[in-house]
A and B are shown apart, each in its own frame.
Chain A
């Protein structure tokens, strides 16, 4: 019974973190922009670049670029949602109130991840719908491998977010820049149109219908 009560109390504390982020989102147009506007701008830029390149007969460019943009958003936003929620507490000088409360660090992270996940689902759904309507690109055409691939991106993003929180706690404000920059360090620097032997081999491990968008036809050659 006490374990049950403890877990109910724990759920209430996680709910408090989610509520806090929800109220903040509702009251700030800037935060709503983060969910829809910037991902949409990125999608439109890369969408029209893809259409332009496809007109020049560059192969598989829609799948490569739009799939890449959508999946990149999953990694980038899952990382930034965790680190930004934490930084909001730092910037509003609310951190001591949070950590002097019965909230455990684990509950704090679960609350941030839960709310960030809900925002990410909403944002990705809107972007995927727009990609389909404007460019005829269906995210699910990437096949069933999309599910574990997205899951790994999410976990990776959360891990980077938690790492960012740790670094900011340890080194203070001067380390905040990594909240934006860290996930970019994991972007592929080598374009797939000039693939290395190892990346070509990696792409070939996927069944043809399930290959991630980053494995363009250029990788297969």
Chain B
């Protein structure tokens, strides 16, 4: 059974068709990337997966169930982090994790928070308000929040955007470790081709709201007769 099954979803905003008949699957333990130029429909697709946007046509199935069924139970099994979404800056790291642990119905809240603080090397920052943290530290808190419910599917929208190469590399290593150690499925969008090459088992290239190519990074490079994913991206983006 697929963790996530996106079937022929379409979303229009007025006269603009943001997503046009997109289909893909994410299996257990798989890391799947959505790539494409700005405006390709990646974020809208992710928002449909998260139930934030309702598709005009098609359906999203999580763990075999339609998302418009028991939304609360299904959303409790996934989690989300994005470069453009922040957490309340006035709260401390520990408070943020405690609030989200309650939101996701975690049973042993203090235990889970302590585990995450240790796992993401946040112990020393636990009493510091988020607004006083650096971008890299805030990203680690975002990831801790995204792992608070030990999700079966982790949805990450440009998780390393705005991070410097050093911190970005550490975050990638952390995510890779999580994918390998826990066998957790991930759906990722990014504009960093090396990140996608390094992390994803399968990549769906989107352009103008459609999936235009699918495969692993080497398969895609072969198909387009280029050396790497960046060259594939340029081919797709420039038609």
A200 vs chain B, min Cβ distance (A): 49
Residues of B within 8 A of A98 (CB): 103
Contact A102 B104 (CB under 8 A): yes
- Given A23-B95, A96-B80, decide whether A15 and B102 contact each other with a Cβ distance below 8 A: yes
Contact A96 B88 (CB under 8 A): no
Closest residue of chain B to A98 (Cβ to Cβ) is B103
Closest residue of chain A to B155 (Cβ to Cβ) is A100
A159 within 8 Å of B by Cβ?
no
A94 within 8 Å of B by Cβ?
yes
Residues of A within 8 A of B52 (CB): 96, 99-100
A103 within 8 Å of B by Cβ?
yes
- Given A96-B80, A100-B51, A100-B80, decide whether A16 and B103 contact each other with a Cβ distance below 8 A: yes
- Given A9-B105, A92-B88, decide whether A23 and B99 contact each other with a Cβ distance below 8 A: yes
Closest residue of chain A to B102 (Cβ to Cβ) is A16
Q: Which of B73, B92, B98, B155 contacts A19 (CB 8 A)?
A: B98
Contact A97 B104 (CB under 8 A): no
B230 vs chain A, min Cβ distance (A): 29
Instruction: Report how many A-B pairs have Cβ atoms within 8 Å.
Output: 81
- Given A12-B105, A19-B98, A102-B103, decide whether A97 and B80 contact each other with a Cβ distance below 8 A: yes
Contact B80 A20 (CB under 8 A): no
Contact B89 A92 (CB under 8 A): yes
Contact B72 A97 (CB under 8 A): no
Categorize the interface residue count of chain B: 20 to 34
Q: Which of B90, B99, B105, B145 contacts A102 (CB 8 A)?
A: B105
Residues of A within 8 A of B102 (CB): 12-13, 15-16, 19
A93 within 8 Å of B by Cβ?
yes
Closest residue of chain B to A89 (Cβ to Cβ) is B88
Contact A100 B145 (CB under 8 A): no
Report the bound CA distance from A9 to B102 in whole Å.
9
A28 within 8 Å of B by Cβ?
yes
Contact A27 B85 (CB under 8 A): no
A21 vs chain B, min Cβ distance (A): 10
Closest residue of chain B to A93 (Cβ to Cβ) is B86
Report the bound CA distance from A9 to B72 in whole Å.
10
Closest residue of chain A to B78 (Cβ to Cβ) is A100
A196 within 8 Å of B by Cβ?
no
A28 vs chain B, min Cβ distance (A): 6
Contact B90 A27 (CB under 8 A): yes
Contact B100 A16 (CB under 8 A): yes
Contact B105 A23 (CB under 8 A): no
B88 vs chain A, min Cβ distance (A): 5
Q: Which of A23, A88, A100 contacts B50 (CB 8 A)?
A: A100
Residues of A within 8 A of B99 (CB): 16, 19-20, 23
B231 within 8 Å of A by Cβ?
no
B187 vs chain A, min Cβ distance (A): 13
- 6 A-B pairs with CB atoms under 8 Å apart are A13-B102, A27-B129, A89-B88, A96-B50, A96-B52, A100-B75
Additional pairs, 13, CB under 8 Å, beyond known A96-B82, A100-B155, A102-B104: A9-B105, A12-B105, A13-B102, A16-B99, A19-B99, A20-B99, A23-B99, A27-B90, A94-B86, A96-B50, A100-B52, A101-B100, A102-B71
Q: Chain A interface (Cβ within 8 Å of chain B)?
A: 9, 12-13, 15-17, 19-20, 23-24, 27-28, 88-89, 92-94, 96-104
